[in-house]
Homo-oligomer: A and B are copies of this chain.
Amino acid sequence: MDKKTIQTDVLIIGGGTAGCYAAITLAEQSDKEVLIAEKADIKRSGCLAAGVNALNAYIVSGNTPEDYLEYVKKDAEGLIREDLVLTMSERLNKVTKHLEEMGLVILKNKDGEYVTRGNRNIKINGENIKPILANQVYSYSNITVFNRVNIIDYIVADNQIIGAYGFHILKNTFYTIFAKTVICSTGGAAGIYKPNNPGLSRHKMWYPPFNTGAGYAMGIRSGAEMTTFEMRFIALRCKDTIAPTGTIAQGVSAPQINGAGELYDKQYGAPTTANRVYSTIEENKQGRGPCFLKTEGIGEKAEEELLKAYLNMAPAQTLKWLERGKGPNHENVEIEGTEPYIVGGHTASGYWVDTGRQTTIKGLYAAGDVAGGCPQKYVTGSLAEGEIAALSALRYIEETTFKTIYKEEQQEYERTGFEAVNKFLHHPEGIYTVFQLEEAMQKVMDEYAGGISGNYGYNQSRLVIAESRIRELRELALRLHAKDCYDLMKIYELLDRLLVAEAVIVHLEARKETRWHSFQENLDFQEKDEAYFLYINSIRKNERFEIIKRAFVGRGVVYEHTH
């Protein structure tokens, strides 16, 4: 394996939605050297690879950022970081404008105003949203992009970030990257739980299977404080294809009905995102499933438009309609809940950040799905957080006097970083493959930590088993053999997921109430308990997670870390 050492002002880990936009912000506002390290290729990496259907977060005319905050708050049973949601909301329209300038097609009415879908969404052609962002990134000379470079760990000294380690997946090169500041924008984590279709189509999931929680895990390993891992995101999706449903639900106003054709969602409390899933699960449990979005009779024109809309975002769903020989006008669309994802852009799991998106590690910022406390940021919110993090990082560079890293110190960092990966290349081949251990992990999480098979519910007896088996699996994973850098990446993905899994277990255990149905369904404590109107945070010390309970942070304040 070759070894290379790189120096940069700003390292951005993950060139997805937030990462690209952070880079663009930095390039527009400064002459700092920016390096994006991306495990795939920024043209089609991350959540936006296949396209998205709408911009789900936009302040439509007549509404204010506070309205968006109120909506998010209500949807999350009150428990959000108001400072974060508000600062994000204030930027939603600005970043949207910017996106449009870059080339995104947005539907407008005759007066040139964006056409809304529901109260907060605007209609776009999102098929090529990622190539648009990538092109913009490539237009700046002070941004360097390392595609196919997988980052595996931070370099931290005295709780201050000084860089990160990674390797090129194809070129067999190990990188030690030193940076003044680092923005983590690696997205959330899929593949922690057994997926809906664990066989051939196991990766036909909603969230990208390549977002494996690396950013969470790197933070956890470096002692960063994390928040709200117990608020898992379970999406209500089109059966089998796991394609988004909002386009149908909002687009053609299709209500949810059960197997008997009855409307049911009103019977399960407020129609929150969580309750849309929960109500469906309950109907199934009562024997009234399967459940559907009622689309029959929407008309041929609407059907045709839906077929097109899905090609721009989730082509599998269009193909599915064609396979069935029946489009949505002729057959209702069956729905199901997905496996639980950990994703700070829909729910609130991730780094515990200050209002400027700095993590508890000095100089390390988080934006997008990897950042906690701020649900329902979606595409535009992730862009907004990319911007906020970039601006904070710039200020940090200006305000900080950086220590010189001397040659010997640097070599010591290079050596220890490299040894960590090199050992896997030298392990003998064992009984298990990385894929088998991944499957084993997903099964444990499914059965003992509230996955699909248990209708998302969990209890203490099960969590105890989950935790001990997840820790056993980590021991097995640490002994895996890698024959090349692709294998190495898979091993790190597994180790990262195992760590996220453990965090999820510990957080689920700590919340001794049921705050969000399905998302966090504690069968030992089936009611909401206002004593738990607080954030469950954690820091890993000596290989164990310690829980920290933190009080509510309201809007208006600028929250700062106190360490």
State in angstroms the CA–CA spacing of A524 and B287 once bound together: 7
Give 12 CB contacts A-B under 8 Å: A197-B443, A199-B439, A200-B436, A259-B459, A259-B461, A259-B462, A287-B459, A287-B524, A288-B523, A290-B448, A290-B465, A453-B453
A357 to chain B, nearest CB (A): 38
- Residues on the B chain within 8 Å of A460, using CB: 259
- Residues on the B chain within 8 Å of A457, using CB: 287
Query: Does A454 lie at the interface of the complex (its beta carbon under 8 Å from any beta carbon of B)?
Result: yes
- Residues of A333-368 at the interface with B, using a CB-CB cut-off of 8 Å, are none
* CB <8 Å contact, A462 and B290: yes
State in angstroms the CA–CA spacing of A526 and B288 once bound together: 12
A172 to chain B, nearest CB (A): 30
A261 to chain B, nearest CB (A): 9
Query: Does A551 lie at the interface of the complex (its beta carbon under 8 Å from any beta carbon of B)?
Result: no
* CB <8 Å contact, B459 and A288: yes
Instruction: Give the contacting residue for A461; candidates B289, B439, B454, B526; CB below 8 A.
Output: B289
Query: Does A390 lie at the interface of the complex (its beta carbon under 8 Å from any beta carbon of B)?
Result: no
Instruction: Give the contacting residue for A454; candidates B284, B462, B524; CB below 8 A.
Output: B284
- Residues on the B chain within 8 Å of A259, using CB: 459-462
Query: Does A260 lie at the interface of the complex (its beta carbon under 8 Å from any beta carbon of B)?
Result: yes
* CB <8 Å contact, B459 and A289: yes
Query: Does A198 lie at the interface of the complex (its beta carbon under 8 Å from any beta carbon of B)?
Result: yes
Give me the interface of A with B, judged by CB distance under 8 Å.
197-200, 259-260, 284-290, 436, 439, 443, 448, 452-454, 457, 459-462, 465, 523-524, 526
Count of chain copies: 2
| New A-B contacts (12) at CB < 8 Å, excluding given A286-B523, A287-B524, A290-B462 | A197-B443, A199-B439, A200-B436, A259-B461, A260-B461, A287-B457, A287-B459, A289-B454, A289-B461, A290-B465, A452-B453, A453-B453
- Residues on the B chain within 8 Å of A454, using CB: 284, 289
Identity of the chain B residue whose Cβ is nearest the Cβ of A457 in the assembled complex: B287
Assess A462 versus B289: contact at CB under 8 Å? Given A452-B453, A454-B284.
yes
Identity of the chain B residue whose Cβ is nearest the Cβ of A447 in the assembled complex: B290
* CB <8 Å contact, B461 and A290: yes
Identity of the chain B residue whose Cβ is nearest the Cβ of A522 in the assembled complex: B287
Assess A439 versus B289: contact at CB under 8 Å? Given A259-B459, A259-B461.
no
State in angstroms the CA–CA spacing of A461 and B197 once bound together: 21
* CB <8 Å contact, A287 and B523: yes
- Residues on the B chain within 8 Å of A443, using CB: 197, 199
Identity of the chain B residue whose Cβ is nearest the Cβ of A286 in the assembled complex: B523
A61 to chain B, nearest CB (A): 43
Identity of the chain B residue whose Cβ is nearest the Cβ of A292 in the assembled complex: B461
State in angstroms the CA–CA spacing of A460 and B290 once bound together: 10
Identity of the chain B residue whose Cβ is nearest the Cβ of A460 in the assembled complex: B259
Instruction: Give the contacting residue for A200; candidates B289, B439, B462, B523; CB below 8 A.
Output: B439
- Residues on the B chain within 8 Å of A461, using CB: 259-260, 289-290
- Residues on the B chain within 8 Å of A436, using CB: 199-200
- Residues on the B chain within 8 Å of A286, using CB: 523
A555 to chain B, nearest CB (A): 36
State in angstroms the CA–CA spacing of A523 and B290 once bound together: 12
State in angstroms the CA–CA spacing of A222 and B250 once bound together: 52
- Residues on the B chain within 8 Å of A197, using CB: 443
- Residues on the B chain within 8 Å of A452, using CB: 453
A457 to chain B, nearest CB (A): 6
State in angstroms the CA–CA spacing of A439 and B201 once bound together: 11
A-B residue pairs, 7 tightest by C-beta: A287-B523, A259-B461, A199-B439, A287-B459, A200-B436, A287-B457, A198-B198
State in angstroms the CA–CA spacing of A289 and B461 once bound together: 7
Identity of the chain B residue whose Cβ is nearest the Cβ of A459 in the assembled complex: B287
Identity of the chain B residue whose Cβ is nearest the Cβ of A433 in the assembled complex: B200
Identity of the chain B residue whose Cβ is nearest the Cβ of A261 in the assembled complex: B461
A140 to chain B, nearest CB (A): 44
Identity of the chain B residue whose Cβ is nearest the Cβ of A524 in the assembled complex: B287
A196 to chain B, nearest CB (A): 10
A524 to chain B, nearest CB (A): 7
Identity of the chain B residue whose Cβ is nearest the Cβ of A284 in the assembled complex: B454
State in angstroms the CA–CA spacing of A454 and B285 once bound together: 8
State in angstroms the CA–CA spacing of A197 and B197 once bound together: 13
State in angstroms the CA–CA spacing of A524 and B260 once bound together: 11
State in angstroms the CA–CA spacing of A436 and B199 once bound together: 8
- Residues on the B chain within 8 Å of A198, using CB: 198-199
- Residues on the B chain within 8 Å of A288, using CB: 459, 523
State in angstroms the CA–CA spacing of A439 and B436 once bound together: 18
Identity of the chain B residue whose Cβ is nearest the Cβ of A442 in the assembled complex: B199
State in angstroms the CA–CA spacing of A290 and B197 once bound together: 24
State in angstroms the CA–CA spacing of A197 and B284 once bound together: 23
Identity of the chain B residue whose Cβ is nearest the Cβ of A438 in the assembled complex: B199
- Residues on the B chain within 8 Å of A465, using CB: 290
State in angstroms the CA–CA spacing of A455 and B231 once bound together: 26
A55 to chain B, nearest CB (A): 34
A254 to chain B, nearest CB (A): 18
